Amino acid sequence: MSFRDYLLSSTVSDTLEVWELKDLGHQTAQRILHASDPLQSMQEINQNFPSVVSSLSRMKVDDSIKDEIIANQRMVPPGKSLMALNGALINIEDLDLYLLMDMVREELSLADQFIRLKLPQSAAHKILSAAPPAESNSFRVDFRSSHVHYLNNLEEDALYKRWRSNLNELLMPVYPGQMRYIRKNLFHAVYVFDPASACGAETIDTILSLHQDSVPVRFGIIMYSSRLINVIEENDGSKSDEDTSTLIMRLFLYIKETYSTQLAFQFLSDIHRLRNGGDDYSEEPVEVHHVEEAFVDSLLSGAKSHPQDVLLKLQKENLYKQEADENSRFVHKLGLYKLQCCLLMNGLVHEPNEDATMNAMNDELPRIQEQVYYGHIQSHTDVLEKFLSESSYKRYNPSITGKSTEKKRFVSLFASYHQEDSVLHDISYLHSHGTRDDAKPVTHLLAVDLSSVTGTKLLHEAIRYLVDEAIAYHAYSNMLFILFSSDYVFLFNMMQMDGSNRARVGLLLYACSDSVSTILLMKDIIDR
């Protein structure tokens, strides 16, 4: 307490009016925050509060102090105290001096490791203060693209114009199981499937059923061809013939652009109705004549020309063929084809059935409510854009992310890297052309056995990833290959002497070709 405050508090009467106590808590907090030694100021106020209360009551409170206190009150319940170390909450009741010192020592150890990795001090502080990683069941896939075809839009369609748009209704209590009908795209249910598969038929029926029941969800689909995916896996999709799935996607795109989205979705439903032949469920595959008949039936009432003529024209001129193939390539890039059919609820991966859709909606609701409560989601916020921009991945890979019931396995290389005789110091990396001296945030280490089919396939995928990364993202990643085959290691090291990545990549790509004997393979490469 300054000498001036002491004199003022000693000469002014201690009698205070009731209205002077209104902002006394804010005024006290402001005095502590503006003090040169906040802890000392807090101690003096606590010990001498009656003598300083008069001077505190005459302080003008800044609006920024009030806003900060209101924001803090949303996080900390009344009467509770909170303590955090680099953003990590600490249980005050179980805390003692020795436990606190152990926590500080651990944080300093982590900071030292980051600094030894030559990370800037600001970056190390951000990492230490970052939130813990999300659980595997919160894994979001970034599917934002033009390949998503939405059936509805809660914010624009006339069907939902009578719904309220106030997001605060999300915070109001409702009966268990009751849905909140708000005119806002809060839930984006995007289904990924092959339209010619039995799973695709069930998915379309699920979407149309939920849409007819006015479930407050924005529904969308991403279709792909399983056959084209297999071709891409085998020969990069350089040669692909049209199949039934591709034909369905082409006709879907034509109906959507020429007529309406609702008619295009109805066309998909008619295909499987004709395939079932009146049965509730059929194992029969979708044939081309099912697709053609559904197309003709869908356009018969509104087409200017005969639908059969339109169908022949589309097949002859290969219209929308490129767009349909790009859909399949996009699904292959996301890695979702491995699931055959799946649901992405705001990017979270779920089963594509109706029960899973409702459960996914209920699981996502508390996250949205929390964001609305803290003011992070408002009436103008794009919910999908916010979630996928904050925490999402470009590819779904269960081998890395694991399932919700699996525990992730990590191997720390930090101790080995800082040993002088570590083999990690003798590593020769593969870089994309012209990026050897560029700093890269991610280093991929692959341990493969080229004598096995699994190792060869993994190596081939890694090289393809390196090439695609160089084209799309200017080579932000490094690659390392550890080969557990003595013949390949010897030849790989020989090619390392000239410092040429081209020869080494050529060897690796050639090793990924059809299986041949090691002797013939090495002889052929040496002859080249």
- For the ranges 116-120, 307-311, 420-424, the maximum mean pLDDT occurs at 307-311
Query: 101 and 49 in one domain?
Result: no
pLDDT at 444: 78
Q: Look at strands 188-193 and 218-223 and give their pairing.
A: parallel
Query: 341 and 286 in one domain?
Result: yes
Q: Is the pLDDT of residue 475 over 50?
A: no
Query: 438 and 470 in one domain?
Result: yes
Query: 320 and 250 in one domain?
Result: yes
- 525: confidence class by pLDDT, cuts 50, 70, 90: very low
In degrees rounded to 5, what are phi and psi of residue 345?
Answer: -95, 100
Query: 95 and 74 in one domain?
Result: no
Domain closes at, from 58, 80, 102: 80
- Is 395 among the domain residues? no
Q: Is the pLDDT of residue 3 over 50?
A: yes
Query: 272 and 249 in one domain?
Result: yes
Closest by CA to 251, choosing from 295, 201, 195, is 295
Instruction: Give the pLDDT confidence of 243-287 residue by residue, as tens digits.
Output: 899 999 999 999 999 999 999 999 999 998 888 775 556 667 788
CA 53 to mean position of chain CA atoms: 52
Query: 306 and 287 in one domain?
Result: yes
pLDDT at 500: 52
Query: 271 and 210 in one domain?
Result: yes
- Is 398 among the domain residues? no
pLDDT at 280: 58
Distance CA 192, CA 271 (A): 18
DSSP string of 249-293? HHHHHHHHHHT-HHHHHHHHHHHHHHHHTT-S---PPPPHHHHHH
- Is 408 among the domain residues? no
Closest by CA to 229, choosing from 214, 216, 245, 215, is 245
Query: 361 and 243 in one domain?
Result: yes
Q: Name residues whose C-beta falls within 8 Å of residue 393's C-beta, 6 or more positions apart in sequence.
A: 139, 140, 141, 142, 401
Sign of CA dihedral 412, 414, 415, 419: positive
CATH number for the domain harbouring residue 306: 3.40.30.10
Query: 470 and 361 in one domain?
Result: no
Mean pLDDT of 491-518: 51
- Is 143 among the domain residues? no
Query: 93 and 68 in one domain?
Result: no
- Is 278 among the domain residues? yes
- Is 320 among the domain residues? yes
Burial of 258 (0-12, 13-18, 19+ CB in 10 A): middle
DSSP string of 35-52? SSSHHHHHHHHHHSHHHH
Phi-psi region at 129: left, alpha or beta (left = phi > 0; alpha = psi -120 to 50): alpha
pLDDT at 365: 94
- Is 155 among the domain residues? yes
Query: 74 and 92 in one domain?
Result: no
> pLDDT averaged over the chain?
80
pLDDT at 353: 93
pLDDT at 111: 84
**Count of structural domains, the chain:** 4
- Is 406 among the domain residues? no
Instruction: Write down the pTM of the prediction.
Output: 0.68
- Pick the more confident residue, 512 or 309: 309
Q: What is residue 164's DSSP assignment?
A: B
Domain of residue 171, residue span: 149-390
Q: Which of 33-37, 105-109, 285-289, 474-478 has the lowest average pLDDT?
A: 474-478
Mean pLDDT of 129-134: 66
- Binning the chain into helix, strand and coil, the percentages to the nearest 5 are 55, 10, 35
Q: Which of 14-18, 101-105, 486-490, 509-513 has the lowest average pLDDT?
A: 486-490
